[in-house]
Amino acid sequence: MIEQLAAMPTYEAYKDSGVEWLGEIPAQWEIKRLKNLATINPSFTYINNDEVACFLPMEMVETNGEVIFDIQKPIKLLKSGFTSFQKNDVIVAKITPCFENGKGACLDKMPTVYGFGSTEFHVLRVKQYVSPKYIYYLTKTHLFMNLGECLMTGSAGQKRVPSYFLAEFYLASPSFVEQTAIAAFLDRKTVQIEQAMAIKEQQIALLKERKQILIQNAVTRSLDPNVPMRDSGVEWIGEIPAHWNLKRLKYILNERNERSKTGEEPLFMVSQTHGLVVRSEFHEKAEVAQSNVDNKIVYKNDLVFNKLKAHLGVFFKSNIDFKGLVSPDYAVYQSKGLIDDLKYLEHLFRHPAYIGQFIIRATGIVEGLIRLYTGDLFQISIPVPPKHEQKAILDHIESQSAKIDQAIAIQQQQIDKLKEYKATLINSAVTGKIRVPEVAA
């Protein structure tokens, strides 16, 4: 893809822009400040309060420039306390991390003349003979994004791009005809790139679904598709292989309630992506001033459960070679012997049927504070295959999952390359490093 970009034509002559970060620009282009091409954060003066306007909270604006225009309200309900804009304006998120993520849009498709939205938007209203789409693509360039990030002001988590950055930003400006041609080219190419990325994201979703089905079938229905089945006697479990047993978890697990007397053991944390890990290896500021005395001790092969996240299936077996600590709010379990490797339960407990049982049996009245206690967990029944079959199932899951994960990684790498190509293409076209086909030589 980058090779395709390198093969694109360039302009016949270039000149020194006089701006260090711009370098050379096409000879016929001019250096201008953004405030020469657009009014920054114009005021709202319209007085027909009964006319409806689009309302855009930050979440209605995507990082790829797509906008959801579903909310419309009378202007009289919006004109105070929100940022105002008009059709064909360009909006740019000012606050971190929305700015760095590229949240912004050209409002050329807004169905109303006027709009209001988050106060965390800057608004650019182009002047005569300036293409709003060209200005939008300018805000997507490496130069604009990187410099804006460097000039953010405010405290951590509340940093914002100041309006003077937009006003004083230097850009290479072609003629209006050329701006329009560049914007049209980028519209067409970015749609093609977005479509290619969407296809690959769908492929990733299908691969993840395939992996989940593979795991669910293996831990509930055996590896043999022809194995005789029998009714489990539990409606929500349904049929299980005829030679498997059905046991309540109280016969499978013991709760470990060993506590640290010194708090000196390494602190563990649960990661949805990586499982149970040493906290200091994932967080620079892992060491906190509070004491870890009385935290629960976890040994290798124990199963750790976040009681508050039963609905997410947050059970992880410890593969760490040494003992460590988890919060007293977690539950820690060890096998009674019927299940050799508790990785088996880690997989089983992500089955939708078990997630449903965790939700039903959890207690509490405040969302986010609903817990699944051990006594309730232990009443749940599970199918138990023979030990040799448990190992075969886990080996199968590991080998097949590795293949699927590799396929997912390849698709993700291709998505990353497409994102890089899109960003480089926009940057090259808007700064004149390439001449788009729509522009005559």
Q: Do domains 30-173 and 227-384 have the same CATH topology?
A: yes
H or E segment to which residue 74 belongs = strand 72-74
| Residue 385 phi, psi (nearest 5) | -80, 165
Q: Which CATH number is associated with domain 30-173?
A: 3.90.220.20
Alpha carbons 83 and 93: distance in angstroms, whole number = 11
Largest CA distance in the chain: 81
Q: Are 302 and 333 in contact (CB under 8 A)?
A: yes
Alpha carbons 300 and 133: distance in angstroms, whole number = 57
pLDDT digits (tens, 9 = 90+) for 112-146: 999 999 999 999 999 999 999 999 999 999 899 99
- Distances, alpha carbon 354 to alpha carbons 304, 324, 401, in Å: 16, 28, 21
Residue 438, pLDDT > 80, answer no
**Three-state DSSP state, 422:** helix
In this structure, are strands 52-56 and 114-117 parallel, antiparallel, or unpaired? parallel
Residues near 330 by beta carbon (within 8 Å), at least 6 away in sequence: 270, 296, 304, 305, 306, 307
Average pLDDT for 43-71: 90
Residue 147, pLDDT > 80, answer yes
Alpha carbons 310 and 372: distance in angstroms, whole number = 6
Alpha carbons 437 and 170: distance in angstroms, whole number = 25
- Judge if the upstream peptide bond of residue 97 is cis by omega within 30 degrees of 0: yes
Q: Which CATH superfamily is domain 227-384 in?
A: DNA methylase specificity domains (3.90.220.20)
pLDDT bracket for residue 439 (50, 70, 90): low
Residue 407, pLDDT > 60, answer yes
Average pLDDT for 331-348: 95
- Distances, alpha carbon 237 to alpha carbons 216, 232, 234, 240, 378, in Å: 12, 7, 5, 8, 16
What are the structural domain ranges in the chain?
A: 30-173, 227-384
pLDDT digits (tens, 9 = 90+) for 254-283: 999 999 988 888 998 887 778 888 887 776
CA 126: distance to chain centroid? 32
CA 338: distance to chain centroid? 39
Q: Are 339 and 345 in contact (CB under 8 A)?
A: yes
Give the torsion sign (CA, 15, 18, 23, 28): negative
Of 8-12, 225-229, 297-301, 361-365, minimum mean pLDDT range: 361-365
Q: Please state the pTM of the whole predicted model.
A: 0.82
Write down the pLDDT at residue 286.
46
Residue 289, pLDDT > 50, answer no
Alpha carbons 143 and 359: distance in angstroms, whole number = 49
Planar angle of CA 314, 318, 322, nearest 5 degrees: 145
Average pLDDT for 295-302: 94
pLDDT bracket for residue 306 (50, 70, 90): confident
